[in-house]
Structures are given as structure tokens and as C-alpha cells.
Amino acid sequence: MLTYWQYSYYHVYYCCCFIINTIVFIIVIIIIIIISIIIVIVTVIAIVIGTVIFIIIIIIIIIIIIIIITTIAVIIFIIIFFFIIITIITIITIVVISVIIATCTVWGIPKACAKTPQWRGDNTPNSMQVAAVEVNVERASSSGEGYSTPLLDVDLPRGEIDTSDLLSPSPSSRVPQRRQTLPASAFNHSRGG
């Protein structure tokens, strides 16, 4: 049989062990909870930071891609724009040169021909031919001989000869002039009159 003191001792011992075990258990539970909370907080922080970093990286990549695409588009636009400008300038230059050549061909050749002592395209005598005909007509009228124009290759008929057409250089510039006639007697010697 246990005495009172023994019983009291065991009772106190078991009570102390229970209290100590309970305190240790509570401390362990608290430590586990604190560690779990720390782990959760660290995990959340890591997830947030990782997400932010991931988003920032994606934004940077998107910005770089946009810059590259924009740069390529601008370069292509500049190249196309310069090609269009060069094409337009080339077309304008060809047209201007063609117009200049056509103008020189259309207006330069007749003007050059008009300055030479020969027949023009409208079959009218120039000033040198008219002067030669006038001199020859004066010689024929003063000598009383018949006359055939060497330049025009046309025999002058007897009687009155109209020389007003020979005095104008072209049909467009002819104006009414006094009819210059020669008497028929001036050609009677050579014509048998």
C-alpha cells in the first residue's frame, strides 16, 4: 500500500509531467504554425515577385519586338518612298527630254532650213531667190531679150508679167502690193514679136 506521501509524490510528478508535456506540445504547435506562416508568406512573396518579374520581362520583350517591327517598317517605307521619288523623277526627266527633243525636231529643222538658200517646205522662194529673179528680170527688160529663170526653171511668158508674188517670202506673209508689170515689147526681140 502506498502511503500518503508516496501517493502525493506520484500525483505531483504526473501532474508536472502533464503540464510540461502540454507546454512542450503547445510550443511545438506554435513553432510549426509560425514556420508555416513564414513559408506561406515567403511563397506568396516569391509568387508575387516572380509574377511581377515575369510580367516585366514579357513587357520588355513586347516593347523590343514592337521597336524592331517599327524600325523594319520605317526602313521599308523609306526605301519604297525613295524608289517612288526616283521613279517619278526619272519619268519626269524622260518626258522633259522627250518634249525637248520633239520640240527641237519639229521647230529646229524648219528654222534651220529656212536660213539656208534653198526652197522651204511650202514651195515659196526665199529672199535670195527673189532677189536673183528680180535682178535677172531687170536685165532682161533692159536688154530686151527673152528670159528663163535659172532658179525657178519657169519661162516668163510674153506680155505683162505679175512679179508681186515673187516679192513675198511665203503665202502666209503675202500682202496686197502694187502690181509690177513689164511691157510686152521688152520680150519681142527674143520671142520673135
31 and 98 share a domain? yes
For CA atoms 136, 137, 139, 145, give the dihedral sign: positive
111 and 154 share a domain? no
109 and 187 share a domain? no
Confidence category of residue 110, pLDDT binned at 50, 70, 90: low
Q: Does residue 57 fall inside a structural domain?
A: yes
Choose between 30 and 131: higher pLDDT: 30
Domains identified in the chain, total number: 2
87 and 160 share a domain? no
Choose between 160 and 43: higher pLDDT: 43
30 and 111 share a domain? yes
pLDDT for 6: 65
Q: What is the mean pLDDT of residues 46-66?
A: 94
104 and 165 share a domain? no
Q: What is the mean pLDDT of residues 42-50?
A: 93
Q: Does residue 9 fall inside a structural domain?
A: no
Q: What is the mean pLDDT of residues 140-154?
A: 49
Structure-block grid coordinates of residue 140: 532682161
pLDDT at 103 over 80: no
85 and 164 share a domain? no
Q: How many Cβ atoms from other residues are within 10 Å of residue 28's Cβ? A: 10
37 and 107 share a domain? yes
Percent of the chain with pLDDT over 90: 35
Chosen domain end from 64, 92, 115: 115
Q: Which domain holds residue 156?
A: 127-191
Q: Does residue 167 fall inside a structural domain?
A: yes
132 and 174 share a domain? yes
54 and 86 share a domain? yes
Closest CA to 121 of 175, 172, 176: 172
Instruction: Decide if 114 contacts 124 (C-beta within 8 A).
Output: no
Q: Does residue 76 fall inside a structural domain?
A: yes
Choose between 183 and 53: higher pLDDT: 53
pLDDT for 13: 80
Angle at 21 between CA 20 and CA 26, to 5 degrees: 100
pLDDT at 164 over 60: no
pLDDT for 35: 95
Which residues contact residue 146 at a Cβ distance below 8 angstroms, ignoring those fewer than 6 apart?
A: 140, 156, 187, 189, 190, 191
- Distance (Å, rounded) from C-alpha 123 to C-alpha 47? 104
Q: Does residue 93 fall inside a structural domain?
A: yes
Amino acid, single-letter form, for residue 58? I
Q: What is the mean pLDDT of residues 44-53?
A: 93
pLDDT at 76 over 50: yes
Mean pLDDT of the chain: 71
143 and 170 share a domain? yes
